[in-house]
Structure 1
Amino acid sequence: MNVYNTSSVLVLNSYNFSSEVVFPAFLFATLSYMIILFCNLILILTIILNKSLHHPMNLILLNLPVHDLIGASAFFPQIIKEILTDSRTMQYSTCVAQAFFIHIYAGGSVFTLTAMAYDRYIAICCPLKYNTVMTNAHIMRLITFVWASNLVTMGVLFILLLRLPRCRSELTQPYCDNPSLLSLVCANTTINNIYGLVVVAVSQVIANGMILYTYLQILIACFRSNRSDTKAKALQTCATHLTVFLLLECLGLFTIISYRLGSISPHLRRFLGMSTLIFPPTLNPIIYGLRTKEIREKIMHFFKNKILPS
């Protein structure tokens, strides 16, 4: 017989660092979080404060560092607290909030990158229609759809989770997400599992289908173009975008698959999960800030004239 657990405190599967490793781990986590905050905030401020950067691609791109900040801020403060205090407990409500924002980060990043692929497709394959199609109103509808669909999808996911009673209080992960919270439940989770799989399948079909179609069309358009400078610029933009998308997709999918396969090492699962929350938010602003000429020049101008004036 299962006894339902009404305790509001959960026990985490902590890192079990030795005393010699605590300080390097704290330093790594703190520096990683500071780098993510700094780079993403610089990217956001650069786009917002420079009207010359207020064109469709950058307005869509602006949502990517926002999602990165949401994911990093849901993950790092709790991890840093665990390392410093050697705490193995967390309030259930805090755990649910952390899991919700981590899923918002993951889903929002995928949807935003898909919207960016759509923008590049219109710009490169239908350049004469670009200004007509990608109006400010259309961009706002696109961004609103990305946020609304993500919030509704993840909201339903966690509503389905919270309706179920718990009879366990020990998490298998050092941080919270939907699968680890679902492992605490001692009730029928068929509806949750089906909904989760449908959400993953539909989002992956839409995102990967859109990316595959747009990039095939972009490659065809580039090879048909007689202008080498246009071809090089388009391919550089697409390569940057594709790198970011594949990094997030590979880490995210491997993490999801690892939960479904019992033979996967729990240490590998933790590494994949934490990598999804560390590497994309760190690399995204660096990749877009350095690889996008307009943004790079504005950032350098800002530092030269505002931060380090001669």
Structure 2
Amino acid sequence: MENMSQVPLKQPIVFRLEGFDITREQGYPLFVVTFIVYAVMLLGNLTVVTVIATDAKLHKPMYMMMCNLVACDLLGGTVAMTQLMSNFLTGDKSIGYVAAIVQAFCLHTYGLAVPTILAAMAYDRYVAICQPLHYHSIMTTRRLVLLCFLAWFIAVVLILILLILNVGTPLCGTLIKHVYSSDQSILRLACFPTPINIIYGLCANWTLRSCTFLIMAFSYAKILKACVVKQEKNSRNKAIQTCTSHLTIYILFEIAVLNIILTYRLQGVSPNIKKFCAIIFVIVPPTVNPIIYGMAMKDIRTNIVKFFKSTVLPK
């Protein structure tokens, strides 16, 4: 560790985010761009939630889980992008210790909760398509609440344990070489190696991702088999469209994760490129997801059109 020879810092600690290597003048146009992207993200996700909340026909398990995914996307996107906009606008890249821990908690929760929610959505589609006659008896309100609770609970508990391990670690530096605070960026400031923290983080992350992948692989394999057997063309097409949107979102998210992993391990990649890939992780999925749902799911698309006609266009 680069900080081993230093004296441990005392509280209160104020970190400084390294951020992008840009001038103050370059920060202003970047703030405008980031603000526009964030506004589009908010508009798209809040529109989906509003449409679902105001239409009783959409008060179904699939759409309730979709609202949980929206909440998760907004959590990750808001925490990262508001910090980024503040840095671009003011040039002040300082962040307090508690704020850094909270930011890391929110971003890591986003990173783990997205696959668990998508796994719950895959199970819901499996029951709906493969066991349609028993769907309402299986996907009761109680089971829906339980699935949503577990999706969040598993992610939150895993991250809480990780951050509790980190809180007691003495730090010998204050420069976080990132655009936002994360578990790894804080651990790099530790006065001595932290193998337990690193091993736990890797095991928790990959175990969860492996489990959610297996659940989704099983669910969609069964769904694909059922779609091949189905005689009704309309039902088959609707099932394929719905599952395609879920799979597209999952693949897009995992590509964003893989992009971060590869750029941080490949030699010769510039620091700005690495940081840009880290920002893509919290910008692209939350911004694109509402578009994917709007294009692939007729119920959402139709209700969005009705919503804008009644609220935006003059009568």
Cα distance in 2 for residues equivalent to 1:178 and 1:258: 17
Question: Which residue is equivalent to 1:279?
Answer: 284
Correspondence 1:146-161 to 2 at 5 A: 146-161=151-166
Q: Structure 1 residues 11-20 or 146-155, which shifts more?
A: 11-20
Q: Deviations over 1:91-136 (max 9, x none)?
A: 2221211111111111111111111111111111111111111111
Residue by residue over 1:156-202, the C-alpha shift from the partner in whole angstroms, topping out at 9 and shown as x without a partner, is 11111111010011111121111111111113311111111111121
Residue pair 2:112, 2:205 contacting (<8 A) in 1 also: no
Residue 3 of structure 1 is matched in structure 2 by 7
How many Å apart are 1:258 and its aligned residue? 4.6
Matched, 1:131 2:136: yes
Residue by residue, what CA displacement relative to the aligned partner does 1:206-236 show, whole Å, maximum 9, x if unpaired?
1111111111111111111222222221111
**Gapped regions of structure 2 (runs ≥ 5):** none
- Tell me the residue number matched to 2:267: 263
Distance in 1 of aligned mates of 2:50 and 2:233: 33
2:9 counterpart letter in structure 1? N
Moved more, 274-283 or 182-191: 182-191
Match of 2:148 among 139, 143, 158: 143
Give the alignment partner of residue 33 of structure 1, picking from 34, 38, 54: 38
AA at the equivalent of 2:267: S
Q: Do the aligned residues in 1 keep the contact of 2:27 with 2:91 (CA within 8 Å)?
A: no
1:188 maps to which of 180, 189, 193:
193
What residue number does 1:15 align with?
Answer: 20
CA distance in 1, matches of 2:216, 2:210: 10
Give distance in 2, aligned partners of 1:49 and 1:187.
Answer: 54
**Cα contact 1:258–1:264 (8 A) shared by 2:** no
1:60 aligns with 2:65: yes
Give the CA deviation at 1:257. Answer: 5.2
CA distance in 1, matches of 2:268, 2:282: 20
1:240 aligned partner: 245
Higher mean Cα deviation, 197-206 or 20-29? 20-29
Cα distance, 1:86 vs structure 2 = 1.5
C-alpha distance 173-105 of structure 1, shift in aligned 2 (>3 A): same
| TM-score w.r.t. length of structure 1 | 0.94
Equivalent of 2:168, from 163, 170, 173?
163
Write the deviation string for residues 22-76 of structure 1: whole angstroms up to 9, x where unpaired.
Answer: 3321111000111111111111121122111001111111101101111111011
Unaligned runs of 5+ in 1: none
- Local SS of the residue matching 2:176: coil
What number of residue pairs does the alignment pair up? 309
Paired letter, 1:5: L
What is the CA–CA distance in structure 1 between the aligned matches of 2:19 and 2:75, rounded to whole Å? 22
Provide the alpha-carbon RMSD of the alignment.
1.6
**SS where residue 62 of structure 1 aligns?**
helix
Q: Structure 2 matches for 1:204-243, cutoff 5 A?
A: 204-243=209-248
CA distance in 1, matches of 2:35, 2:59: 32
Asked whether the equivalents of residues 249 and 289 of structure 2 are also in contact (C-alpha less than 8 Å), the reply is: yes
Q: 2:118 aligns with which of 113, 118, 125?
A: 113
Alignment of 1:70-81 (within 5 A): 70-81=75-86
Other-structure match for 2:29: 24
User: Aligned equivalents of 1:207 and 1:258: distance in 2?
Assistant: 24
Structure 1 contact 167–185 (Cα < 8 Å) conserved: yes
Distance (whole Å) between structure 1 residues aligned to residue 197 and residue 7 of structure 2: 21
Instruction: Give yes or no for contact 1:70–1:102 (8 Å, CA) kept in 2.
Output: yes
